[in-house]
Chains A and B, each alone.
Chain A
Amino acid sequence: MLELRDITGGYGPAQVLCGTDLRAEAGQVTALIGRNGVGKTTLLRGLMGLLPDLAGEITLSGETLLGLPTHRIARAGIGYVPEGRQIFPELTVMENLAVGQRRPSRNWPEERLFALLPNLRERRANAGRALSGGEQQMLAIARALVTDPRVLLLDEPSQGLAPMVVQELARVLRQLAGEGVAVLLVEQNLRLTEAVADRILIMARGRIVHDDTAAAFRAAEDDLRHRWLTM
């Protein structure tokens, strides 16, 4: 589905990504983990066309995305749930959703969306800034879904959420994968990652250093943690 090959780039002279390869398959949750500052957010931003000079190859079902402007990448079928949620604070929940709806959503009409994310239903007329962190996270996901994405990128969605809400998040991500969406999940929360991921990738110094099934990750977890994840 989504394929990245030999991605390099960063911020000006500071190279953050140094030959990253990654695939995300339809119907699977692909998790990307790694220490703070290794370049996970940078990779997602680059994927969305938000970094000025990125080199390599990015394709979605064979269609080249690299070099397209951000709005074209989104229209090609990439949904983006960014770090820190980035809700429009002065827009209502419904208006936040409308920003992503150039036309009515095919896969996520209102009833279906609110069935998946029931907490948003009674908050529909509230401003984005009035929502709790968990509600904002669900809104960020809903807002990406109404663009009918084939791939959903999430950047640390569990950050700052209560354990109950993280469980809810896990349910939502599994359901989305079940619907055939390719979910690419960047996380620091290993419990969430292990609960939902089909594959787990580890990033270090701008490269993927481990790429295997969730079961293989669990089998080698102590060693992998020690080498790539603890400070």
Chain B
Amino acid sequence: MDPLTLFTLQTLNALSLSALLFFISLGLTLIFGIMRVVNFAHGALFMLGAYVGVATQTASGSFLLSLIAAPLAAAVLGLAFERCALSRLYAREHSAFLLVTFGLALALTEAIRLIWGADARQAELPDSLSGIVFVMDEPFPIYRLLLIGAGLACALLCWAGLQRTRLGLLLRAASQNPTMTAALGNDVGRVRAAVFAMACALAALGGALAAPLLSASLGLGSNVIIDAFVIVMIGGMGSFLGTAAGSLLVGFAQTFGNYYAPELALGMTYALMIAVLVVRPGGLFGRVE
């Protein structure tokens, strides 16, 4: 394979990984923006999405249905969790919030083990999506191209939602000054609940989309949340554009790292984060507070 073809294929691989990472890190950063705390359960919700996706597909035979069921289940769970537990903790110490979300991550992992067992499960792609296309005369999976498109569509939709809808405006306002947002007549608690539920849905959609590639396994949540943390740190906590940029950087660093220097690939992600934070302590698009 000539170097240019190789580079092109790896770029496409990197973009598809970036797309998956974007689904989980965007929710993480939005939650951080409006709640000022990290949701440790976000990786577990990604994993839940993968399992619910596989289960839905097994039961119904429809991959498309799995992409609806997974985010829906996570949104309902997230909403219930926010209303029953998190909403009582905002006024308290951050540590309480961290512990509770960490508890949810553990509980979700155990629940998944009880329901689906400890073995990894893989989603089967329908024939229409499992094919290949030729990129510069080399075969390339259609599904990975689809992931790139899904990531792009998600980014555009979320951007439009943030800029053009009332909920998006209130999310941005409450991220900057929750007290004034409330003092102008807005129920910030409901904004938080809606944002949390949507962020959970995004993570689970990412999980369901990842299931055919990565397979649903019990370690999935903790693996992916570390990448998501790194992305959010690189991009700047709470920044949409930063999360997009961070997802791309980490996706490319991991894909190319794995190919050219597999023994350094893991370290590469952290090296990237450290390099960015040394130059810009608040992340690429963040502010130091």
Q: Which residues of A are in contact with B by a Cβ distance under 8 Å?
A: 48, 50, 69-71, 74-75, 80, 82, 86, 88-91, 95, 98-100, 102, 143-144, 147
Instruction: Decide: A70 and B170 in contact? CB cutoff 8 A.
Output: no
CB-nearest residue of chain A to B91: A52
What residues on A are CB-neighbors of B183 within 8 Å?
48, 50, 70-71, 74, 80, 82
**How many pairs of A and B residues are in contact by the CB < 8 Å rule?**
59
- Since A88-B176, A88-B180, A99-B180 are in contact, a sample of 11 more A-B pairs with Cβ atoms closer than 8 Å, ordered by chain A residue number, is A70-B179, A71-B186, A71-B188, A86-B177, A86-B179, A88-B173, A91-B173, A95-B173, A98-B166, A99-B184, A143-B184
CB-nearest residue of chain B to A153: B183
Instruction: Decide: A99 and B186 in contact? CB cutoff 8 A.
Output: yes
Q: Which residues of B are in contact with A by a Cβ distance under 8 Å?
A: 166, 169-170, 172-173, 176-177, 179-188
Instruction: Decide: B172 and A86 in contact? CB cutoff 8 A.
Output: no
Instruction: Decide: A71 and B187 in contact? CB cutoff 8 A.
Output: yes
Looking at A71, A74, A82, the one whose CB has the most chain B CB atoms below 10 A away is: A71
* Shortest Cβ-Cβ A-B pairs, 6 listed: A100-B184, A74-B185, A70-B182, A80-B183, A99-B173, A75-B185
What residues on B are CB-neighbors of A48 within 8 Å?
183
Q: Known: A70-B179, A82-B180, A88-B180. Is A102-B185 also a contact (CB below 8 A)?
A: yes
Q: Known: A88-B173, A95-B169. Is A144-B184 also a contact (CB below 8 A)?
A: yes
C-alpha gap A102/B187 in the complex (Å): 11
- 21 residue pairs of the A-B complex, CB under 8 angstroms, read A69-B182, A70-B183, A71-B185, A71-B187, A74-B184, A75-B185, A80-B180, A80-B183, A86-B177, A86-B180, A88-B172, A88-B173, A88-B176, A91-B172, A95-B169, A95-B173, A99-B184, A100-B184, A102-B185, A102-B186, A147-B185
Instruction: Decide: A99 and B170 in contact? CB cutoff 8 A.
Output: yes
Q: Known: A74-B185, A75-B185, A144-B184. Is A50-B170 also a contact (CB below 8 A)?
A: no
Looking at B180, B185, B188, the one whose CB has the most chain A CB atoms below 10 A away is: B185
